[in-house]
Structure 1
Amino acid sequence: MSNPRPRPAYTSPPINRDLYDRIAATAGDASSRTLVTEFLIPPRSGKAWHVPAGAILRLSTPEGPQVGDFNLWNMHNPRERLWASRTRQLEKSHVSVGNRLWSSLPFMRPMVTIIADSLADYGVDAVGGRCHDLLGTRCDPYVNKLITNDDFDLHCHSNLTRAVLPYGLTEFDVHDVLNVFQVTGLDEEGKYFMRASPATGDTYIEFFAEQPLLCALSTCPGGDLSNWGWGDDGAMEDVCRPIKVEVFEIPRHARNEVLRDWEESKCPDYKGLHGMKSPQSE
């Protein structure tokens, strides 16, 4: 007799599928989706930008496969930021349509909901790899130094650090990421592995902003990860490509219909004091 599958320890609250289907359906309809921001992040670089609540963020790979390391903060309070580990617990280790990215304590509310993903059918490959990864984190010069004893500046952590400086943030604000367009998994020993990105020139993923956001993305110096290594600049440079960023707003005349039943995400209504009988000030 086989052992029953274990029950998930955490379950995400259900989402309004009709709402997010309506939002996703605005794609390609200029009357219900207006482009307000558009730019390319060059290879081996990073950039930060704002996305208002109720807007749609689209990331795409117009020149072919490229992995991106994605960070999120609340636009007005950067202490609220993507919480990758809780998102793994509430959602999945690899996310797609219908999954949300959750913010850190004490806020713990949805930051974005994924509404479209051209790689949604990737599934699980022959070695257990899946796409859009919350398992690993950004590459950084410190772990590179630890492994190789070399100083090497081309890392996602460094790209993200430079990207957020104009917004008053620092290296200490850069945090664990969502790796978009990246295939990863755990081998039979539980060790993390990466595979080449399956993205093509028409690949995209779309997020709906559940709150006002500051976003930052690094076009990974490992490129599409088909030839990655530690500090070997020449070996990876030929597989590095840009990622396109587009932000769409739903125009006022369409909002009542498209965003019917939507409101900005709220924090859990916890009124306790973590077991303390009185505030610390007393």
Structure 2
Amino acid sequence: MSARNILSEWTMQPGTGKAIELLAGQILRIEQVEGLQCVDFNCFNLHDYKEFMHCGRTRTVHGFNPSKGTFMWSAPPRERAMLYILEDTVGRNDVLFPRCSAYVYESAYGFDAHTNCHDIQAEAQREYGLTPDDVHDSFNLFMCTEVTLDGRATITRQASKPGDHVDLLALVDVLAIPNVCGADVMRTSNFGLKPIKLTVFEATAADLNGVPKTPILRSQRTPKDFRQPMIKADRALVRDPSYVAAFVNVPLVVEEVSVVLDDGEAAMLDALRLPVYGTDDGSALRDVLFTWWEQRFLGAAEAGAPAISAPAPHPGNG
């Protein structure tokens, strides 16, 4: 593989973050200097800040701990892959927990002044005219989290070492904002604060060829498709007296379909019937049909994940 050209380098000290214009085809490496340091990460479309990385959508597609070979997605209605995780030497990241904030440290620890991810992000983003309200839920790199059997999310200690890194490939022009997580009184960074190295590379042809294809669908909408494309300039919410509801796909079309079952099929339906449906044969059969459909055809899309195609084999990869 040919060497990547380094475009820029920085070292982030504890308490700081960095807003970086990362153009499509460039790679941001977020690298441990001393090890054991969590990094929070925000990301916006460089040309339209209303499109941003959405942890909820990413979590739905790739699970709680996105790692190498997965994408970071934007929120509906854009819903497109903004970044691709090209490399991840640790494989422990998190999209469950929100960023830490001044409120967390004051309410839980009694600190009325403490470094925190929200304030760091807000200051780094201010360089590009964004406000503290624009900071969004973070992609938490190197953060080890688990979900207990009773449904609680927990943080565990991490084991990242110097040189461990995550490489994020920009698929569109973005403003990428990593910051050194301020949680020195939590397990997040093993109760410490340490610097982080940032490097921007130009992606090679091999890097780009290794990215799986994601679908481009009619339902992925941009401001040109919006009935209200203008961003509000004022903060108060006031009803538009001229508003007339125009919901998409309304009125819904419902068509009754008659299904005749023979005795054997009826017996099979009774065997598969869930108690919640009682004697409602139509609802019971509908559940059986769509459960089979999910398992047979949808796979990961059962949770709303798009169909992602594997990249074509690269010459020389065997």
TM value normalised by structure 2: 0.64
**Separation (CA, whole Å) in 1 of partners of 2:88 and 2:185:** 18
Q: 1:275 aligns with which of 248, 258, 267?
A: 248
Quote the Cα distance in structure 1 between the aligned partners of 2:77 and 2:47. Answer: 15
2:193 equivalent in structure 1: 240
- Is 2:159 the counterpart of 1:210? no
Check if 1:165 corresponds to 2:126: yes
Alignment-derived partner of residue 33 in structure 2: 62
The correspondence of residues 79-158 of structure 1 with structure 2, limited to 5 A, is 79-120=50-91, 131-148=92-109, 150-158=111-119
User: 1:209 corresponds to which letter in structure 2?
Assistant: A
Amino acid of the structure 2 residue aligned with 1:215: A
Matched letter for residue 49 of structure 1: I
Cα separation, 1, equivalents of 2:210 and 2:9: 28
Equivalent position SS for 1:244: strand
Higher helix share: 2
The worse-fitting range, judged by mean Cα deviation, of 193-202 and 85-94 is: 193-202
Judge conservation of contact 1:71–1:175 (CA < 8 Å) in 2.
yes
Which runs of no fewer than 5 residues in structure 2 stay unpaired? Answer: 226-245, 251-318
CA distance in 1, matches of 2:11, 2:218: 40
Residue 38 of structure 1 contacts residue 245 of structure 1 at CA under 8 Å; is this kept in 2? yes
Q: Which runs of 5+ in 1 are unaligned?
A: 1-25, 121-130, 230-235, 278-282
How far is 1:223 from its partner? 4.5
Let me know the Cα RMSD of the aligned residues: 2.9
Q: CA deviation at 1:276?
A: 6.5
How many residue pairs were aligned? 227
Q: What is the CA–CA distance in structure 2 between the aligned matches of 1:44 and 1:260, rounded to whole Å? A: 37
Q: TM-score, length-normalised on structure 1?
A: 0.72
Secondary structure of the 2:7 match is strand
Q: Is the 8 A contact 1:164 1:170 kept in 2?
A: yes
Q: Name the % identity.
A: 29
Using the TM superposition, give the Cα deviation of residue 260 of structure 1 relative to its aligned residue in structure 2, in angstroms. 5.1
CA distance in 2, matches of 1:144, 1:225: 10
Following superposition, the deviation at residue 145 of structure 1 comes to: 3.3
Residues 73-110 of structure 1 show CA distances to partners (whole Å, capped at 9, x for unaligned) of 11111100011011111111101111111001221100
CA distance in 1, matches of 2:38, 2:11: 14
Q: Is the contact made by 1:83 and 1:102 (CA closer than 8 Å) also made in structure 2?
A: yes
Q: 2:161 aligns with which of 195, 200, 204?
A: 200
Which structure is higher in RCO with an 8 Å CA cutoff and minimum separation 6? Answer: 1
Equivalents in 2 of 1:223, 1:100: separation in Å? 29
CA contact (8 A) 2:37 2:189 kept: no
